[in-house]
Amino acid sequence: MTMSEKKSLASAEGLQVADYLRRHPEFFNHHPDVLAFLQLPHNAGGAVSLVERQQLVLRERNSELRNRLDELMATSKTNDELFAKSRALVLSLIAATSKDDIFTALHRSFGGEFATEHYSLTLVDGSGRGPGVHSRSLNELQGQLAAVLDSDTPVCGVLRPQQLTLLFGDKARELGSAVAIRLVTDRVYGILALGSADSHYYHSGMDTLFLRFIADVLNLVLYPRL
């Protein structure tokens, strides 16, 4: 038998032993004498007992579980805060009696409660005044933002300077990334966009459920008032 064949046989036998021990965790209870012959190398050198090795593995697993629990708690807290802010915004939009009230609610929420760096509402061939609200012709938008106008989902990432200018006006030079979603019913009537100076803040892999939800609400309350 060659050396390679011996190694392959030893590896196969090792897998069989490991599988047997996994299926019979009580093995060492019935054969405690075997423990005396086990050698478990330690990272720092030397050897440790099986009990010490098990304790080390359990501590590592417990630490991993605590870290995962902390992450889940942090995520839960973030989601609770996002829900509370979203609820407040939606109630404000529903209670609005005019488009100006809607513009004010959006600005107060994005600029205040959500602490968004930059927010804009671009109306297509429309009219309206308010912080972050402006109008662009459909031809202008189709020339630069066709990807947003034609998409059912938000467009996220680093946009071209011309695109940012159409959405954010003079603030465009301050932006590194943005997310934009079309507002549409029987026609596209606007674009809701958020921007950040951080070029990595808005990216293609981010969760956009909140923005899509707000866009759906605007389709119900804003469009009829334009």
Q: Are 175 and 118 in contact (CB under 8 A)?
A: yes
Q: What is the mean pLDDT of residues 77-88?
A: 84
Residue 122 lies in a domain: yes
With cut-offs at 50, 70 and 90, classify the pLDDT of residue 36.
low
Residue 76 lies in a domain: no
Residue 148 lies in a domain: yes
Residue 3 lies in a domain: no
Nearest 5°: the CA angle 129, 132, 137 is 70
* CATH of residue 113: 3.30.450.40
Strand (E) or helix (H) holding 156? strand 155-157
Residue 24 lies in a domain: no
Q: What is the mean pLDDT of residues 174-183?
A: 96
Residue 90 lies in a domain: no
Domain of 144, in residue numbers: 97-225
What 8-state DSSP symbol labels residue 128? -
Where residue 175 falls (left for φ over 0; alpha for ψ -120 to 50; beta otherwise) is: beta
- Convert the pLDDT of each residue in 120-177 to its tens digit: 999 998 777 788 899 999 999 999 999 999 999 999 999 999 999 999 999 999 999 9
Cβ-based neighbour number of residue 213 at 10 Å: 13
Q: Structural domain tally of the chain?
A: 1
HSE on the CB side for 115, CA within 13 Å? 2
pLDDT the model gives residue 12: 66
Q: Are 114 and 90 in contact (CB under 8 A)?
A: no
pLDDT the model gives residue 46: 52
- Beta bridge partners, 156, equal 179
Strand (E) or helix (H) holding 6? helix 3-23
- Distance between CA 100 and CA 225 in Å, rounded? 9
Residue 85 lies in a domain: no
Residue 221 lies in a domain: yes
pLDDT the model gives residue 37: 63
What 8-state DSSP symbol labels residue 98? S
pLDDT the model gives residue 45: 52
Q: Are 195 and 211 in contact (CB under 8 A)?
A: no
